[in-house]
Amino acid sequence: MKIMPLAKRGVEASRLVLGCMPMGGTWDRNDPITKEDRLKAEKAVDAALSIGINMFDHANIYTQGKAEQTFGGILKNRPELREQIIIQSKCGIRLQDENTPGRFDFSKEHILEAVDESLKRLGVEYLDILLLHRPDPLVKPEEVAEAFSTLKAAGKVRYFGVSNMNVSQIRFLQCSLPDQLAVNQLEMSLAHTDFLDQTIYVNQQKGTGVNFGEGIMEFSQMENIQLQAWGPLAQGRFSGRPLDNEPENVQKTAALISQMAKEKETTPEAIVLGWLMKHPAMIQPIIGTSNEERIAACKDAERQAGLMTRDEWYTLYMSAIGREK
């Protein structure tokens, strides 16, 4: 039986992850975290735990740090939870302020400072995984290596990864790092299928041949990198969101998913996620919602991935990219 790349490293993570970006209220740093914000976050965590999710994805910028702070409040009230879960966070994005624009920062100084701040907000001694949040054009791999080595030696981070990076960017970083990167987080869903190189079909139709390039899916499997999908539910496009202004292929795909869900006695969310999880790269979807009912609707995703046939997978794929035949 194929297992997730994280499991090969000794990280026993669930196939689904709860994304914690909605926690903490608004993105205005001056708005306080309300009692309602804390209650909503706790209910989301409990809903996730109830369907077997043990991994939670953060970033230092989510709601200006209030997401980590809110989650830290949950852990403070339930300290036994820390050793039962896997906490992942990200750093590297610096939001716009009064004097400087939004930018990226993979400097050693910023990485070390950002991790210390995240640990303080979360109220924990270590992160299981730290990701660099999107590529930084000014990155110096040797400086990142110094930061990672310092964090690992201090016991503050166990594993490292990246987000939104292509093969060349990963290789460039990896050339200086002492440990192999464990994770790459990308936008992947039936609404964003670029990761599958859909140009294969276009090129075949035009008779111009196929240019595979450097496939991120193949590379990740060869290098034992855990692929995580952000936005896997495509903001509800295929699971109940109004579609009046959506293109025909989206509307047809949503109808197809609804039909499949009824036939299989499951939810549209489970079908949408199951399609991603069917891929042999063992993709790990990150559910970015704090809605309890929507979290619960994802419970059957892994089972549906196992039940989904090749024909069903390709039917959904071709419908999503607007090529049903």
Domain spans of the chain? 5-236+279-296
The DSSP letter of residue 321 is: T
Q: ∠ CA(171), CA(174), CA(178), 5° rounding?
A: 165
Q: Which of 62, 126, 159, 314 is catalytic?
A: 62
- Contact by Cβ (8 Å): 232, 287: yes
Interior angle at CA 215, CA 211 and CA 221, nearest 5 = 150
State the Cα–Cα distance between residues 85 and 283, nearest whole angstrom.
19
- For residue 201, indicate whether it is catalytic: no
Q: How does DSSP classify residue 154?
A: T
The separation between CA 325 and the C-alpha centre of its own chain, rounded to angstroms, equals 31
- Compute the Cα dihedral for 303, 274, 237, 229 and give only its sign: positive
Q: Which pLDDT score, from 0 to 100, does residue 325 have?
A: 60
* pLDDT tens-digit readout, 63-109: 999 999 999 999 999 999 999 999 999 999 999 888 899 999 999 99
Residue 206 confidence (pLDDT): 42
Over residues 209-221, the pLDDT tens digits come to 333 347 899 999 9
3-state secondary structure of 286: strand
**CATH 3.20.20.100 at 5-236+279-296, yes or no:** yes
Predicted pLDDT of residue 213: 44
The parts of the chain modelled with pLDDT lower than 70 are: 1, 197-213, 324-325
For residue 16, what are its two tokens? 């689904």
Burial class (CB in 10 A: 0-12, 13-18, 19+), 39: exposed
- Tokens representing residue 197 in the block: 């190189």
Instruction: Name every residue whose Cβ is closer than 8 Å to that of residue 314 and which is 6 or more positions away in sequence.
Output: none
